[in-house]
Amino acid sequence: MSIFWISVIGSSALAFCLKLFGASVPENWLNHPRVQLINNLIPIALLSALVAVNSLADKTKLVIDNRTAGVAAAIALLIAKAPFPVVVVGAAVTSAVLYRVF
């Protein structure tokens, strides 16, 4: 058996064990205020990291290009309290225009 299949089977077993033990955590542990706060902040942190990596990285290099300008336009529109479709279209148009110009 190759190292690839060992890692696939090991990862699958680990994921199964995490899911099994995660479902058996006592409810009073999950209702703790600190756990609730962390649980509410994890998706925000993960999404922020995903946006940062996808807009600032090109393989192993840090770049500032049209994607960064699109994110900046989206942030500006969010601060201006624009509706979500306007934010998405504004970011896309900003990024596309700068891509075509440069």
- pLDDT (0 to 100) of residue 1: 82
Please give the pLDDT value at position 17. 95
Number of domains in the chain: 1
Residue 3 included in any domain: no
Q: Is residue 95 part of a domain?
A: yes
pLDDT tens, N- to C-terminus, the chain (102 residues): 899 999 999 999 999 999 999 888 898 998 999 999 999 999 999 999 999 999 999 989 999 999 999 999 999 999 999 999 999 999 999 999 999 998
H-assigned helices in the chain: 3-23, 27-30, 33-56, 66-79, 84-101
Pairwise CA distance, residues 70 & 87, whole Å = 10
Q: Is the residue at 20 inside a domain?
A: no
Residue 96 lies in a domain: yes
Structure pTM? 0.64
In this structure, the chain runs to a length of 102
- Enclosing domain of residue 76: 32-101
Flag whether 6 is in a domain.
Answer: no
pLDDT of residue 22: 86
Q: Is residue 13 part of a domain?
A: no
Domain-located, residue 27: no
| 23 domain residue, yes or no | no
